[in-house]
Structure 1
Amino acid sequence: MKIHDIPGFPNPLRVRVVLAAKGLLDKVDFVPVDLPGAEHKRPPFLAINPTGTVPVLELDDGTYISECTAITEYLDNLDGNPILTGKTALEKAMVHMMQKRAESELIDAIGIYFHHATPGLGEALQPYKHPEWEGRTYWGEMHREKALAGMHYFDSVLRKQPYIAGDFFSMADATVLGGLLFAFYAQIPVPSALTALLEWKERVDQLPAVIQASA
């Protein structure tokens, strides 16, 4: 298998955590994609993923799987022993519910702020981020506030349970972790009052899968 991505970025981190948790980090080849140079927005890359996003999983038979959730589902269920996406019907429902919230309320909101209200990754990507739109800075700032609200929400969740979707580390945790990495790049600090979220971050940063994925 191959993973088309760039190390140290939020969404690639999500999948690298999954690979580490499943003991697959040394079973894949990583193909670097130049995001600052907008390689993912050009025809050769769009031929494998029309949405122009990373990461992309390439299977040995030539199949390409994009979207972090889809990649996680495939990798987690490859050996018939899912540990990140839930085993029971209730676990699966909770993981997918919180996964969706982690995307819409945190990582996606930060992405919109980063790309529309800051210089983002630089000039090469600006043509793809609607720089002519007069309202883009307001749109970005609005999503910064949404991201902060998302942080408050997940803090409230973590005051009641150890992980985002319940009692075990799941792909929803990996998504929130990626969101907080994105927040760091976008200079959106986690408010100090959100002690449950900050304590969770310290705890998951010490998980072997996260350490391996971040190396």
Structure 2
Amino acid sequence: MAVIELQHVNKAFGAGLNRVSVLHNINFSADQGELSLILGPSGSGKSTLLTIIGGLQTADSGKVQIDGQNLAEMSAKQRDRLRLTTIGFILQSYNLLPYLNVADQFKLVDRVKRQGNLSKKALLQLLKELGIDNLLNHFPGELSGGQNQRVALARALYTDPQIILADEPTAALDSDRVQVVGKILQKMAKNHHKAVIVVTHDLRLRRFADHTYQLLDGKLRAQ
């Protein structure tokens, strides 16, 4: 069984003449051990789709199942627990706390999720691969957009989630860093048996994907 499965999912915003259909009859599945890339221009509904998969938003109709669990049948508390233990989010906004330095961003995760996180050795290796191991004492406001993006990526992977959902994870990165991030996400899928879903308009990531989809006019098509 696929760890992620969407069946006939629809989502619209607004009402009456202002109603806009963002997602139309979306069918999608993803297995552990694979990286799925969803391409589309800005405003195509990529972020909406990702947040529905992660249970941050609800679909207007259709079914969303994560690890065999129907999100619509779960309480808000159960969905929160699922996100904490099973899903790692890499969002465009980074969501780093401005008053915590990089090291403390990870210590905060330890306070929220006390077990199952990466070992200190594994975290240090990840930080080195991302080129941010020398930034542990810096605050988000002291970092570039690309550095903050890599810290947010590391923090999402630190919880060792079964599912990784990434929203434009390479938007602020140069081509060399795109290759590093692409290889890390591919490694997470292949070597660590995770389901990795990346929504992006960055074509440089195509070479790392097992499956590529195009989201356009609210419709998802395999490429």
After TM superposition, the score normalised by the length of structure 2 is: 0.34
After TM superposition, the score normalised by the length of structure 1 is: 0.35
Answer 1 or 2: higher relative contact order, Cα 8 Å, separation at least 6.
2
Looking at secondary structure, tell me which structure has more strand per residue: 2
